[in-house]
A and B are shown apart, each in its own frame.
Chain A
Amino acid sequence: MTKMQDEITPVVGNRSLTGGHYLLSLYSPRQARATRPGQFAMVRLPGRSDVLLRRPMSIYEVAQRSKHSKPEIIRLLYKIVGRGTRMMAELKPADRVGLIAPLGHGFFEEEYLARALEADEVLLVAGGIGIAALLMPARELAGRGIRATLFFGGRTKNDLAGLADFRRSIRTAVLSTEDGSRGHRGYVTEPLADYLHHHSKKRFLLMVCGPWPMLAASVALVQRYGHPCLVSMENRMGCGLGVCLGCSIRVDGTGHGAYERVCTEGPVFWAEKVAWNAEAPPKV
């Protein structure tokens, strides 16, 4: 289990990026140091009874304030989609935010890592804000001498937030937008399908994060070739701590019964474990 902590953290920055995306920086040394790639945080806006529950957010990156210090800052990349994220966008330096972090099982559990090191190539696949879960994995891989290929899709070029941060850690980025404003015109799964087809001899490992339909399409594709695939799932969360059972998704027969909690057993699962033909979690 993770070394999660409940802290009140000061905002040290909240930068507006393209297309309603923001990058929130929080000063929280203990949590930053405990974070592993693919884990998430539960964010609380104190004193707001209209945004009662905490909001789950992937930990985008942890950063140090000076070159030689240890990580002290947690950054969250988020997109305004409703009340809570709108309020987050109004945060200013010195405001305080409640943060429970780090939470969940990320991309680098022991069993996952062994598979990554075995693969000829690692493919990171992101749909929209799903990119937020993949920067830390990209850096972790780079640190181990593995340069991943990133497939990144969004509706328009404004949805491709954070791309520049990947440049130094990945081999190359294959972009797509539904309106064709940047890269391939269409879904992210189309260039991915081509790539898998053209390299059918290679052994890949995939790490995928995005909305349910994009996850389901990617997994269907990947399973045709039998490549191991890790998915980072989303669902509404009441607590993020494993107690409300609000985030459960259907899985195919495991020790925990037919449902597992995204916040605790996940958010990262082996793709074959998730029951893709079951009810999709809410589109939010």
Chain B
Amino acid sequence: MTASGTFGYGREFARLIDLNRLGGIVVKGISADPMEGNPPPRIYETEAGMLNAIGLQNVGAKKFLTEKLPFLRTLETRCVVNVFGYSTEDYVRCIEILNAGDGIDAYELNISCPNTRCGGMVYGNDPKLTEEVVRASKRAARFPLFVKLSPNVTDITELARVAEGSGADALSLVNTFVGMAVDIETRTPRLSNLTGGLSGPAIKPVALRMVYQVAQAVKIPVIGMGGIASAEDALEFLIAGAQAVQVGTANFYAPATAIDIVEGIRGFCRRKQIHLTDLIGSLKAAAGSAV
């Protein structure tokens, strides 16, 4: 699958790759109302990664249905709609609008946004808020509900269990890590927003550890992501317990990455004469190891 915010609404890539060879497309985060996003600079390249503070610019749920979904429906590929809001009511309202959209295969709830009602407290950091928004969204949702976890927490397994207990059908992780960069000449931040989300190969080891921990902690499927750029990277996540993976930042510089990964995994399984389902969660833990 391709990760939210890194593949637009699919159509942008139609000229470069055969979209039907992808397992699924997770579209850019959609909110009930359209959003403008942050002023530039919005991105900054870092060592083996990038910071972004796009500000969740999107066309809004209504326009998504009329302008973006019809094209996605022409594909055989699964369509997952990433949803966010600033209050539980926002999330629910967005889902209620989207429910009218035939051809959506699942929702992915982005709970890394600040909650405006609770003074900017981030949903994904707070078990109570997580429970509230997941329960309400699950009740509203006509399609299966994935919950996308933020890695910017002390114990990701706690939030994972809460999301599972509140009705999530699957968990996706991780979203980006909050980071920053400074221009030493001007002593100003590199991003207009001061901080931004770090993604790309630089975050892979940490993301992998979190996917492993969460896969141990819950029974629902885990969708792994964070710095995946090759079949080998994806295999690490699968062996650590992910049932599926998403590719994000790599789409920007190598649009065929997700397709190459599908081919690469197929080749690996053939060479090892192993079935993919037998690989998942097959990590042989070293004796006495603990995370």
Contacts and interface: CB of A to CB of B under 8 A. Distances in A.
Contact of B37 (A4, A245, A264): A245
Contact of A259 (B48, B57, B256): B57
Contacts of A232: none
A53 B36 contact: no
A4 B40 contact: no
Given A50-B47, A257-B34, A244 B40 contact: no
B7 interface: yes
A238 B8 contact: no
A236 B46 CA distance: 13
A3 B16 CA distance: 10
B15 A4 contact: yes
B54 A244 contact: yes
A279 interface: yes
Interface residues of A, number: 38
Interface string A242-283: 111111111000000111000010000000000000111110
B49 interface: yes
B57 A245 contact: yes
A147 interface: no
Interface in A172-221: none
B251 interface: yes
A52 B45 contact: yes
A248 B8 CA distance: 14
Contact of B254 (A5, A44, A249): A44
Nearest to A3: B15
A241 B13 contact: yes
B255 A6 contact: yes
A105 interface: no
B201 A49 contact: yes
Contacts of B45: 51-53, 236
Nearest to A82: B45
Contact of B36 (A235, A259, A264): A259
Nearest to B52: A246
Interface in B13-38: 13, 15-16, 28, 34, 36-37
Interface centre among A3, A5, A6, A52 (most CB of B within 10 A): A52
A95 to B, nearest CB: 17
Nearest to A51: B45
A52 B41 contact: no
Contacts of B15: 1, 3-5
Given A243-B6, A245-B37, 5 more contacts: A4-B15, A50-B48, A52-B249, A242-B8, A280-B40
Identify the 4 closest CB pairs spanning chains A and B, nearest first.
A246-B43, A243-B8, A239-B252, A282-B41
7 contacts: A52-B49, A54-B253, A100-B16, A243-B252, A244-B43, A257-B36, A280-B40
